[in-house]
Amino acid sequence: MSSDPVRIAAAPVRTAPGGWRRRVKQRSTLHAHGEPMLWLTGGALGLALFMIAGLLVLVVWQGIFTFWPGALVEVTARSGERCLGEVVRRERYTPEPGAVDALAPDEAAAARRELEAHRGQLGRRLIRIGNFDITGEHFRWLEDFRVAAETRPAWAVLVERTSWGRCYGIPRAFRVDGEVVAETPEAVWEKYRELHGAARARRARRKALESGDIGRINHALEQARLGLRKVELESGRHSAAWAAAEPRFLQEQEAAAQAFARVQEEIHTIERENARYQIVCDTYHRGQIVPATVMLGDIVRAFAPNRLSFVAKLGVYVSRWREFLCDEPREANSEGGVWPAIFGTAVMTLIMCLVVVPFGVLAALYLREYARAGFIVSAVRIAVNNLAGVPSIVFGVFGLGFFCYIIGASIDQLLFAARLPNPTYGNGGVLWASLTLALLTLPVVIVATEEALAAVPNSMREGSYACGAAKWQTVRRIVLPRAMPGIMTGMILAMARGAGEVAPLMLVGAAKVAPDLPLDGIFPYLHPERKFMHLGFHIYDLGFQSQNSEAARPMVFTTTLLLIAIVAALNLFAIWLRARLRRKFVTGQF
């Protein structure tokens, strides 16, 4: 075979003083060494890491300081109007043409001075004034040129209530049975500290009665009704079985009514006791001082931020975090805790992993170890890869139609006919949400498992066959253990994606508020048919569906931080387990 001669240009040789010869190295461009591509790829990686780090820093910074108690300010406007609250943020804006000329003379002069000092921009502050039951608003914008004075009253208090949001004011009176027993802020505060613990305990007792005792009574009554309904479906209303079952149902109904009356009486007693104690605070509305009355039993937390030391502020901060992690939400999810969302996210992710990993591993084993290469196997692989690119909402529609309306409705017809037309499994729930996300993440597990199986050297398989092992023995004892780290990688990717999905959950089980957990003390203890709360859906609801978006804005960052922390914790555990498996099955290749 002939080819054109290759000419190699020799590097010039120069004779140096002294007689020895020195070879001069020929210069080459950066393109010959790939330097531009090195900088391009490295720069792209650095930019991506910078954007990810910036997003994480923003979320962490905003999320960590959400619960730190800020100072309360009393702002007096030039018009004489006053307001009390927390300054949420400050910003600058460009006013519309002619807006300054329409102001009062003193305000217009102050605005012009500010425009000259800040290049044609005005400053304003967003104040959270609370007292929604009185003012009808949670926040108020106030321009800087309107402010005549700003002070921090020592006895300005923040009251976090179970309803109507926050209350800002200065305590003026403490009432017991309508009579004033304290008339100064110091005396009111002492009475509050003395009696609030008992009031909070009574509120907790009332909550336990409503969610525990009444829940059990309603469950027992519903089971009795379903038993009678089952007899009616099987034998009819005029049968002997119906005649025997109806008196038992009436007895159980009467017993449940008596138990319910006793619980209601105890609840009314608690309400009457809590209604005896009230705190009256002075607040501002339309420039006037108006009283704000708060029942002691409705107070979750109250403190005077301007009088707190650093240690006291840290105590309030820790208390708010404990409430956020362990309690139920309130005020349209903008306050309170997210414990039901944490529990629902963890349970759904766990069920999803238990379903998707076995099916994904078995499918990958068949495709890699058993199936013969051909058109069908190629088509299946193409379908799996394409399935990974399908929008998640499509999986939600499929889950709603297949799992809820077909599988769930069939289960209701077979096992829960007495409850119809009210669906049991024919509606969204944590089980159907987990299965839908398992389908969504199945391609990830299949592809990762196939890659892990392909990475196992064929020499190990051949050595196993040479020792007399069968196909399944080789797969189970040689291939799978060494592919386990790669399988764990697929599970980590599936878990990370499934835990953050929101669109499918909106159709197959996630709810805005679902305080009843899928796991409780009522048989069968685990209720996969129940709706559940999810941190991702909770973030969506806070950010886009809240009626009080400004109050929900800090909670969005805090809940996002919590979701990232939970996903990171699950991933770290899986990574640790993968590292242990890798160390256990590390071996030389031959």
Number of residues assigned to the chain: 590
Q: What is the pLDDT of residue 576?
A: 85
In a domain, 351, yes or no: yes
Are residues 388 and 476 located together in one domain of the fold? Answer: yes
In a domain, 447, yes or no: yes
Q: 493, 135, 396, 94: which is closest to 283 by C-alpha?
A: 135
In a domain, 514, yes or no: yes
Residue in the structure block whose two tokens are 């399944």:
472
Residues spanned by the domain of 314? 63-169+300-321
In a domain, 405, yes or no: yes
Are residues 255 and 403 located together in one domain of the fold? Answer: no
Last residue of a domain, one of 518, 535, 552: 535
Last residue of a domain, one of 321, 354, 379: 321
φ/ψ (deg, to 5) at 374? 180, -170
* Rounded (10°) angle between helices 339-365 and 549-585: 40
Are residues 128 and 260 located together in one domain of the fold? Answer: no
Which residues on neighbouring strands pair with residue 293, listed in sequence order? 280
Are residues 380 and 449 located together in one domain of the fold? Answer: yes
Are residues 123 and 88 located together in one domain of the fold? Answer: yes
Are residues 497 and 445 located together in one domain of the fold? Answer: yes
Residue in the structure block whose two tokens are 């080789």:
474
Are residues 392 and 467 located together in one domain of the fold? Answer: yes
Q: What is the pLDDT of residue 588?
A: 41
Are residues 269 and 142 located together in one domain of the fold? Answer: no
Last residue of a domain, one of 292, 321, 350: 321
In a domain, 281, yes or no: no
Maximal C-alpha separation, the chain = 127
In a domain, 583, yes or no: no
Torsion angle (degrees, nearest 10) of CA 19, 21, 27, 28:
180
Write the CB contacts of 242 (distance below 8 Å, at least 6 apart in sequence): 228, 231, 232, 235, 236
Residue 360 sits in a domain whose CATH number is: 1.10.3720.10
Number of domains making up the chain: 3
Are residues 135 and 216 located together in one domain of the fold? Answer: no
Residue ranges, the chain, pLDDT below 50:
1-11, 587-590
Are residues 481 and 385 located together in one domain of the fold? Answer: yes
Are residues 119 and 243 located together in one domain of the fold? Answer: no
Cα separation, 256 vs 217, in Å, equals 6
What secondary structure letter does DSSP report for 238? Answer: T
**Cα 557–Cα 167–Cα 176 angle in degrees, nearest 5:** 140
Cα separation, 437 vs 347, in Å, equals 13
Which residues on neighbouring strands pair with residue 92, listed in sequence order? 123
In a domain, 478, yes or no: yes
Are residues 156 and 305 located together in one domain of the fold? Answer: yes
Cα separation, 341 vs 532, in Å, equals 7
Its pTM stands at: 0.85
Give how far the C-alpha of residue 437 lies from the chain's centroid of Cα atoms, to the nearest Å. Answer: 17
Q: What is the pLDDT of residue 73?
A: 95
In a domain, 570, yes or no: no
Q: What is the pLDDT of residue 87?
A: 92
What secondary structure letter does DSSP report for 283? Answer: E
Radius of gyration over every alpha carbon of the chain, rounded to an integer in angstroms: 34
DSSP secondary structure string for all residues of 410-450: HHHHHH-GGGTTS-SSSS--HHHHHHHHHHHHHHHHHHHHH
